[in-house]
Chain A
């Protein structure tokens, strides 16, 4: 008797939250009028995308552009609560399986045709499900997606799935930006020329793509959110070299460096410059941690005591101090702390470096020192990442103190993926991993037994724990966050005990923007979000 009542309350709450957010959104245009209009916002991109849409890959250089041209059904606030976008409101059925989205009626594609629920159904059924690399992670939970009429979309799930709305809100990571059916139906989704000259519903319209140089977007005057956007143009300039990007922002040729390309050693100096501002938000949705993953198939690393010894021997505070120049945080869990409802640091027993304990554990595991040396391990990372290079040097130095010789092996990205994830030819790998927007999406993939596959960014460690698998297989059907958190606390306890990977640090949340703009970041997608709220100061 209690359960249906609870379900009803949860549904009611979802509706009330939706209504409150809708009210807030309705008030936005008035506030919007106060913003200054005009200007060009130039965003630095380290690479050039292959296409300008988000349905084919998770390439960030593509999605950071696509988010300005397209909209998702929903987006999210900084607390990772879903907020309206193309869907102005939604209802969830009492059994938590049916989501009914009511779409805005004034949204138009940039070619003037109306945006309808048929576009949304087509996008999810035909583009996302069949092409996006991450579709396999969640699409099997979907029974059907159907447009009831032009403005009503129904998504029926096979079973309760707690992360569903936030997953839709992570439209950039999951490829759920809504695309025009009339331009994709009957054409190959991968080679459609519209992918290179996109037509969306978003705040900015595609203007031009000068190969090797930049992509220019211009203001969409018919944007469905009246008054927005404020900027005349957003330009994405491809600047591969870090030092040149830095000079670019200091010189005023660039207006935005996102958190992953900010040179950490320059932050203190940049903070003092009147020309730039540091924006300390905008990675909440991706919630990225750096890990030291262990190949649990290999020699000494098969023994959990050895992995624990390594965790005691590695000084993560030193890594934060020297590799991150004191920025960011030491990571105390396999979840990022921005996933506040699920995160706990109470199972991190390695907070203070303890060389004596590391030595005792290694002795106990049957690896005594011989001529001062116990065994050797290889340490692998992607050579394009300086922070990993610095971390690797500290790890090598730390482990030498407990008698472990570390051989450094760094490769370009393609070779690194091949060696680590395809061939499992590594002992320890430094690798960042997104843990958001929900741990069911960000964390399960790395540690579930069924994810021991020769595929990129899954469980290359060959880690397997039956209890954890069971938690992963059931937790996502618990809708109440407090009850879900209990499952995730237990998961973190197991992971911090078994240590298939040691969480090293949480990436610093700091973007650098020109001082002449406001709202350079206005949502938890940060650098990947649409720039409809950015305006001149």
Chain B
């Protein structure tokens, strides 16, 4: 019960924060040069009447503060408006793209976290061994490598040369599949973008796990556990790892936000139909409602994940008490 009250309090505290985020983003977007109508009409000498008509329709002929107030009024009734470009509700548009991003992000986050924690534990037990040095080097490379470039390398190696994976999209177009075949098809398409997307996260989590595990393994209670006659696995997995997990969970929560908003490059390289590309296209097209809608959704999700992270602390560490 205290946990639920705590969660409700945190969510209530986040609401004003989201309203402030809306105001900042709205102002910044409108301050940026470029007119949505000019981009919308394509490369042509547009009729001034058509331009004026569209500006009125989109409410762009009103002062920005008035537009912001109108936007607040809409958002508070859970209406994110209509896209200038697609002319359909922003919420529907985001929902049509969100599953692809969550799938990509979820797969990347899951695989990278599991692998990183496992490698981190192994490396921490044998510091400066050949295995530790090679995984550390690998992590450094993964941390430093730009996603865009890594994606291109993966495409050339595994899609073009070895022909193991498809190069683009989420489904096969020439030979479409249904049912379980479609699931396998999506999984096949997911491998390269998820691998690309996960490497940075994997490197970060590995370094963190290794450092924290090294720290924990040097503690007295680990010595005691070993002295009690516990096996190495029982000591490491039962005593050391749970104590090292807390900072890992914190970073996992933080990374969720980064990864959600940062899928643009991976989605662009692999033509993955997610919200990252929607965001990128909306920026180029100055599609203000879509941009704002994405910011609202992303901010809300990041807040929710942070609350969930706080709750997870209590589950991992019984010493944590919520009041």
Name A residues whose Cβ lies closer than 8 Å to a Cβ of B: 40, 42, 47-48, 50-51, 57-60, 131-137, 173, 190-191, 195-196, 210-214, 216, 235, 237-241, 243-244, 247-248, 250-253, 384, 411-415, 417-419, 421-422, 434, 445, 451, 453, 455-458
Contact = CB atoms under 8 A, between A and B. Distances in A.
B171 interface: yes
Interface stretch (B110-118, B160-168, B242-250, B314-322): B160-168
A213 B169 contact: yes
B271 A58 contact: no
A336 B171 CA distance: 41
B159 A251 contact: yes
B281 interface: yes
Given A57-B40, A213-B171, A418 B34 contact: yes
A57 B41 contact: yes
B219 interface: no
Interface in B151-188: 152, 155-156, 159-160, 163, 166-171, 173-174
Nearest to A216: B173
Contacts of A413: 34, 39, 284
Instruction: Pick the most buried of A196, A414, A421: most chain B CB atoms within 10 A of its CB.
Output: A414
Given A42-B174, A137-B47, 14 more contacts: A50-B40, A50-B84, A133-B50, A134-B47, A191-B87, A212-B97, A213-B271, A214-B169, A243-B269, A247-B156, A251-B163, A413-B39, A414-B33, A415-B32
A257 B116 CA distance: 40
Interface residues of B, number: 59
A238 B47 contact: no
Contacts of B155: 243-244, 247
A374 to B, nearest CB: 30
Contacts of A235: 173
B170 to A, nearest CB: 6
A250 B160 contact: yes
Contacts of A239: 168-169, 271
B42 A211 contact: no
A243 B38 CA distance: 28
B160 A244 contact: no
Contact of A58 (B42, B49, B87, B274): B42
Nearest to A412: B284
A243 B152 contact: yes
A300 to B, nearest CB: 26
Given A211-B273, A212-B273, A417 B39 contact: yes
- Name B's interface SS: loop
B205 interface: no
Contacts of A412: 34, 283-284
B48 interface: yes
Nearest to B169: A213
A24 to B, nearest CB: 32
Contact of A415 (B34, B46, B274): B34
A134 B38 contact: no
A237 B189 CA distance: 15
Instruction: Pick the most buried of B44, B173, B274: most chain A CB atoms within 10 A of its CB.
Output: B44
Nearest to B34: A414
Interface of B: 32-36, 38-51, 57, 83-88, 93, 96-97, 100, 152, 155-156, 159-160, 163, 166-171, 173-174, 268-274, 277-278, 280-281, 283-286
A196 B88 contact: yes
A243 B268 CA distance: 11
Contacts of B163: 251
Given A243-B155, A455-B48, A133 B173 contact: no
23 contacts: A42-B173, A51-B87, A58-B41, A59-B42, A133-B50, A195-B87, A211-B96, A212-B272, A213-B170, A237-B173, A240-B268, A240-B281, A241-B269, A247-B168, A250-B160, A253-B166, A253-B167, A384-B284, A413-B34, A414-B286, A421-B38, A456-B41, A456-B43
A423 to B, nearest CB: 8
Contacts of B44: 57-58, 133-134, 173, 456-457
Instruction: Pick the most buried of A135, A137, A195, A239: most chain B CB atoms within 10 A of its CB.
Output: A239
Contact of A457 (B43, B171, B268): B43
A241 B268 contact: yes
A419 B269 CA distance: 29
B65 to A, nearest CB: 21
B18 to A, nearest CB: 25
A216 B270 CA distance: 19
Nearest to A139: B47
A42 B169 CA distance: 13
A229 B286 CA distance: 38
Nearest to B280: A240
Contacts of A251: 159-160, 163, 166-167
Nearest to B166: A253
Nearest to B172: A253
A445 B167 contact: no
Nearest to A209: B96
A329 to B, nearest CB: 21
Nearest to B32: A415
B278 A417 contact: no
A417 B271 contact: no
Contact of B167 (A136, A244, A434, A456): A244
A135 B51 CA distance: 12
B160 to A, nearest CB: 5
A247 B160 contact: yes
A134 B85 contact: no
B5 to A, nearest CB: 40
